[in-house]
Chains A and B, each alone.
Chain A
Amino acid sequence: MIPVLRTEKLCKSFSNGGTQQHVIKNLDLEIMDGDFTVIMGASGSGKSTLLYALSGMDKPTLGKIYFGDKEIQGYSNDQLAVFRRGNCGFVFQSIYLLENQTVLDNVLTGAFAVQKNSPELIKRTKDTLARLGLDEEMQKKYPNQLSGGEAQRVGIVRAIINEPKILFADEPTGSLNSATGKEVLDIFTQVHENGQSIVMVTHDIKTALRGTRVIYLRDGSVVGEHRMPKYGGDDLKERRNELTAFLDEMGW
């Protein structure tokens, strides 16, 4: 597999009351094309910080990030924004839909950051929404008229509508109940099956089971890695046991 994203000696630190807090330390990591990478770790281990550094949402303190063959750590904020719009999709725990825009407009706001308006784009957007259970009527609704699961589905469509090279997700089921969370995870699995590279942060084993590679972080460093076949292609119970064993080994 070809690495789509690579880091070299990546460091990220924050100043906290005059004290430097090193959240990511000299991290070398490769994200492979087509992989569903899950980042796990205890609270404060640097999962989200790593995710935002990898996705160009935040700048690293030191080290390098290669996206394909391009170094992005030196980009200005606006260059990073342009980079994100062409290469990355985001799904957030808090969903973050634009409250004054309809479902359709929420997705199109993301789409038009990259693509020009065309009947094909509108059709594809509506079809994608419909495929995820958001029909024409639902597409006219505003975020505060949606349930959590419906809103997160809109968030996912918004994230994938530009066909990003990598889809980043930060605890996408964190604010959902288990049934709704499962629906959302099914969508992720479906998207991954279509060849989408995904990097997801979670602390939930059920969620992590959907990945093909689990990276475990401790104190800002990768301390272990566990590979799995694609979800659904093996025995779920055995998959869970193996992952649990890995996590136990990591001190989860």
Chain B
Amino acid sequence: MKIFRLSLFNLKKNKREAAAILFLTLVSAFLLGTFLSSVTNIPKVFGKCFAETGCRDYMIMVEADKYRDVYSDILTEDYSISEVQRGKALWALEAQYDKNGENRSTNMTFVTESTEYAFEDFVKDETLSDDEIAKLIHPIYLPEYFKIADGFKAGDTFTLTAGGMDYPFEIAGFYKCGLLAESGIGRKCVISDYDYMLLTSVYPEYELMIFDQSDSFDYSEYTDKCSKKSSENFAKACQYRNVEDAKTNEIYSIEMYLYISVFFSAVTFAAVFFLIAHKIKKDIEDQMQQIGVLEALGYTSKEISLSYVCEYVLSGGVGAVLGGICAVLFNPVMNSICTSMIYRHYDVSPNYLRIIVAVLIVAVLVTAFAAFKAGRIRKIPPVTAFRKGIQTHHFGRNVFPLEGLKKSVNLRLALKGIFTDLSGSIGTAICIILAGTAFMFAFFTYDFFSKDDAMLKVVGMEVPDESVTLMNGVDTDKFREELLALPEVRKVNLTCGYSSWMYVKGSDEPGTAFGYEDYSETENIFVKEGRLPEYENEVAISLGRADRENRHVGDSLIMLGDGGEKSYIITGIVPAMSNSRMNMYFTTDGFIRMNPNARPDMAEIYLKEGTDRKAFEKKLTALYGANAKDTAFGSSADGTLEERIRAVADEKMAVLISRYGITDVDYAIKIGDTVIKGNSSKFVIKEMSPMAEMFADEMGTVGEVAKTFCGAAMIFVGVIVAVILSIISAGTVKRQRKELGIMKSMGYTSKDLMMQIAMRILPTAVLSSVIAVFCAIFVQRAFWLAMFGIQIAESLPLMIISAAVLVVFCLMVSYISARRIKKISVTELVTE
């Protein structure tokens, strides 16, 4: 009982420290509980989401005009897949739609209801009534993404924009979507057969093969078989998706944030350990005589140390339990966060067992650590305790003697203070290093996402203001020269188109191939190592590919292209987070070597600052005529009969060119005696797309989420550091009350003494901040490489600023927390 009372006495006496330990254990248990509960729930729920939809496991999508029946036969014959479901889909890359007057874009696919049933069970979620749906002219069922991300509701109008024309649909409802719910290939929307037919003139059509397969399916082997049997380049015409990959892609970011949360939990836990170690040591020093009395009365060291353990079982245990309760209460918020990140309805109960495990882990570790530290009492016999231990005897070297004082006496006295509690300083240093690493990592990441061009620098591909695909036969060099003569144009690069995947021999990972004549003219493609290719037998590869496939500069890379197998030497490694991080970079000749039919048919146009892109697009249309893609959507113009006939003919040619890859078209139409002739040479531009705008749309959300998370993380770490330092500072004031009173009697002001306390932390803070900068760089590199396959450049000024911010923050917290010095009265001290 006496022991328990001593614990309560200590808790009452050191309320602030007890509250800090309670708070930190609460945070640790909360983060750990949330992690343990969610890390298992997320994949489980994700699996449940897929199971609910009745979605098949695999989907292969082949360009409609390149589809051959043999592809389906191979699945049945070579892979014994008995049931291969078939369907058709329209693929809209960067489809534009209207959200409350705001133009947004995402990849989308459109299927009819029958195809949807081939895919999955078409589980509708929130729909209008059957009567209401029956009255709709253009009904559309959207995946949950549009409800969660954009706030659409059943009954709203969903307007697609293509080629300057609006295609308004009425939202009949939402449905639970399995595959094709994310933006990779496109978010799948279900439309009527009539609307599907209408959109076939707008978007390219694909044949779908959908099937279940219990064993893992080897895409590379299947691609080889298809190419061999059809004697065509199957790889160029197809896209794959499967449930496992979808899971990996969709829950990637949540898991990333969860693992970061564990890191913060570890930081908090380290702070708890430090505070316990610090407090027990100081408590034992303070209560040395009391311990001696108890020992003299016959209490064993074990019993006395139990009083300290009991104290932390109370404060840490209550904190851990409260943390567990917080983790349970946080579950609805976590559900909402997950819903908004995976764009699927996420609603699960907390995993109570795992939260209890988290609480127990925290409570047991706190108790064990407290028991370990309190074991120190065993080494103190009563006589030593009566003499206040041997710690207060100083027979060592006089560190920083005042005789050698050069400038500030406050600084010198502060430095002397550090050596009176060296172990405390080391503990403080470890805490600042850990918290500083977390703080700086969040700071660097926040800074990265705050810059407008940050993502551009790591995307590993060019993001021009306007990307123009030219018609076959157009003199691309002449077109480039003409563009450069325009006052709005800053730069024009010609490149080979990069919409198809390219395959590497011996690799399961296809990737996007880029071909540029001169990489010194590109603006977003940089090497981390080596150099960009200069000759036709050279290639640079993305960091993600280099890392995943263990490829290095100087290795050979064999490409599987239209021109058969071609060998290249890897000359450089490019940080790139675009296109699944598996890019390859060739010279134009190198690209053509692999694809003999390719040519630089895309002009990447960079506009001068302040140029209105839309006005520039109109100017291009005025100069070169409407592009084929837009013309394909157009309705016949007004005017004379001949003009109307020519307009219709242009539309037909445009459809052939933009949708079916036809390169040259001639027509002759006879009306009475008149023959109207024309050809496709009038088209110069096949397609135009505002790359930079689309990129900003897509990346803006990612940046905002990351910035919010990092901002919150910085505040969190700041609070942790503030709690630790304020406890240390306030504890120092409390324990050195006598010394500080003496100093006051000598004429040192409260400000002098507060400065001394703050300055004591200075060397530790400076050293720890510098170490934290290097640790943060290491963590950041590992994080970005693992998550995005890139490395972001560290900025020296930012490193210096962040270290300085941390040091100043530590000093300020220590200074402010030492304000209790003001309450120390010399009179009370000497009369007590």
Contact = CB atoms under 8 A, between A and B. Distances in A.
B745 A96 contact: yes
Contacts of B831: 48
Interface string B739-756: 101111111111110000
Nearest to A144: B393
Nearest to B741: A96
Greatest chain A CB density within 10 A among B738, B752, B822, B826 is at B826
A57 B745 contact: yes
A10 to B, nearest CB: 15
A140 B401 CA distance: 10
B597 interface: no
B746 A104 contact: no
A77 B748 CA distance: 10
Contact of A112 (B392, B402, B742, B826): B402
Interface string A64-100: 0000000000000110011111101010111011111
A84 B747 contact: yes
Interface string B372-412: 00000000000000000000111100100111011001000
Contacts of B406: 117
A96 B830 contact: yes
A110 interface: yes
Interface in B724-768: 738-739, 741-752
B interface secondary structure, majority: helix
Interface in A107-124: 108-110, 112-114, 117, 122
Contacts of B739: 98-100
B747 A142 contact: no
B830 A170 contact: yes
Contacts of B742: 96-98
A105 B830 contact: no
Nearest to B830: A92
Interface residues of A, number: 41
A101 interface: yes
A104 B392 contact: no
B416 interface: yes
A100 B751 contact: no
A112 B411 CA distance: 12
B401 A82 contact: no
B349 interface: no
A81 B749 contact: yes
Nearest to A126: B403
Given A78-B749, A104-B402, A109 B394 contact: no
A113 B746 contact: yes
Given A81-B747, A109-B413, A110-B746, A52 B393 contact: no
Interface string B171-201: 0000000000000000000000000000000
A144 B738 contact: no
Contact of B743 (A52, A102, A109, A117): A109
B550 interface: no
A101 B394 CA distance: 8
A97 B394 CA distance: 13
B827 A104 contact: no
A210 interface: no
B748 A113 contact: yes
Nearest to B823: A77
B827 A105 contact: no
B830 A82 contact: no
A84 B394 contact: no
A125 to B, nearest CB: 9
B825 interface: yes
B420 interface: yes
A109 B402 contact: yes
A11 to B, nearest CB: 16
B374 to A, nearest CB: 25
B745 A108 contact: no
A100 B420 contact: yes
A33 interface: no
A142 B742 CA distance: 16
Contacts of B738: 96
B830 A117 contact: no
B395 A100 contact: no
A58 interface: yes
Contacts, number: 105
Contact of A94 (B393, B751, B830): B830
B43 to A, nearest CB: 57
Contacts of B416: 100-101, 105
Greatest chain A CB density within 10 A among B398, B402, B409, B831 is at B402
Contacts of B741: 96
A153 interface: no
Contacts of A93: 830
A165 interface: no
A82 B403 contact: no
A167 B830 CA distance: 16
Contacts of B394: 99-100, 142, 144
A110 B744 CA distance: 10
Contacts of B752: 81, 113
Contacts of A6: none
A102 B748 contact: no
Contacts of B393: 142, 144-145
B750 A77 contact: yes
Contacts of B417: 100
Nearest to B417: A100
Interface in A124-157: 140, 142, 144-145
Contacts of B403: 104-105, 108, 117, 122
Contacts of A84: 745-747
A44 to B, nearest CB: 12
Contacts of B746: 84-85, 90, 109-110, 113, 158
Nearest to A161: B746
B422 to A, nearest CB: 12
A85 B401 contact: no
Given A96-B742, A142-B393, A104 B749 contact: no
Contacts of A52: 826-827, 830
Nearest to B405: A117
B748 A58 contact: no
Interface in B780-832: 822, 825-827, 830-831
Contacts of A90: 745-746
Contacts of B401: 102, 104-105
Contacts of A140: 398
B777 to A, nearest CB: 38
B392 A105 contact: no
A102 B747 contact: no
Nearest to A90: B745
A148 to B, nearest CB: 16
Nearest to A125: B403
A133 to B, nearest CB: 20
Contact of B405 (A78, A99, A100, A112): A112
Given A48-B831, A96-B830, A99-B394, A85 B750 contact: no
B745 A78 contact: no
Contacts of A100: 394, 416-417, 420, 739
B123 to A, nearest CB: 73
Contacts of B405: 108, 112, 117
5 contacts: A58-B825, A90-B746, A92-B830, A97-B742, A105-B416
Pairs A-B, 5 closest by C-beta atoms: A85-B747, A112-B409, A108-B402, A78-B749, A142-B394
Given A81-B750, A92-B830, 8 more contacts: A77-B822, A78-B751, A81-B748, A81-B749, A98-B743, A109-B746, A117-B405, A144-B394
Interface of B: 392-395, 398, 401-403, 405-406, 409, 413, 416-417, 420, 738-739, 741-752, 822, 825-827, 830-831
